[in-house]
């Protein structure tokens, strides 16, 4: 994909994920779950002791999926972020035609603010374009202003608003 050199850090490489990356992907996926739960505990599931293993398993299945894209950001031999997207056909529930759906993008909090998220984002959009996706869509937590800013800067626009109401009380 791409290698970018920062002036103060070793190069960050964006590359396809491999099976060797799965433990790091599990750790980062669990971090994504915790982050969303922190945004809205009533809407998003909490992380459990099984979350890391579950995410590792799930993303492992996606490595074999021809319609999926799993990329990692690697720096100094360490996976510091990832993105997961998939090509999808018509979605009658979402009233959407074929698209590349960006499901996850996460950079370890200790490695943020250095452009790694934008690198991952640009790489996954390029990969979707190369695979013929006519558009890219994504969803973001309402409270995730930093991600929304990144997506807007990359040319994405708001098209849907999810609303949630608990029914148990």
Position 68 scores a pLDDT of: 97
72 phi and psi angles, rounded to 5 deg: -120, 155
Q: How confident is the model at residue 7 (pLDDT cuts 50, 70, 90)?
A: very low
Provide, rounded to the nearest whole percent, the portion of the chain with pLDDT above 90. Answer: 59
Average pLDDT of the chain? 88
Position with higher pLDDT, 99 vs 4: 99
Higher pLDDT, 72 or 9: 72
User: Residue 102: exposed, middle, or buried by beta-carbon count in 10 A (0-12, 13-18, 19+)?
Assistant: buried
Q: pLDDT tens across 51-82, in order?
A: 999 999 999 999 999 999 999 999 889 998 99
For domain 15-153, the CATH class is: alpha beta
Mean pLDDT of the 86-106 span: 93
Rounded to two decimals, the pTM is: 0.88
Q: Which two tokens stand for residue 16?
A: 């396809």
């Amino acid at each position: 994909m791409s290698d970018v050199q920062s002036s103060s850090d070793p190069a960050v490489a964006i590359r396809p994920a491999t099976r060797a990356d799965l433990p790091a992907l599990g750790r980062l996926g669990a971090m994504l779950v915790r982050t969303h739960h922190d945004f809205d505990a009533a809407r998003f599931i909490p992380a459990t002791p099984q979350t890391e293993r579950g995410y590792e398993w799930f993303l492992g299945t996606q490595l074999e999926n021809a319609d999926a894209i799993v990329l990692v950001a690697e720096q100094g031999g360490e996976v510091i972020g990832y993105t997961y997207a998939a090509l999808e056909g018509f979605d009658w529930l979402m009233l959407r035609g074929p698209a590349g759906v960006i499901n996850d993008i996460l950079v370890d909090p200790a490695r943020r603010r250095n452009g790694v998220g934008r690198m991952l984002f640009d790489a996954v959009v390029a990969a979707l374009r190369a695979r013929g996706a006519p558009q890219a869509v994504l969803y973001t937590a309402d409270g995730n202003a930093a991600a929304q800013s990144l997506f807007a800067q990359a040319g994405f626009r708001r098209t849907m608003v999810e609303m949630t109401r608990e029914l148990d009380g």
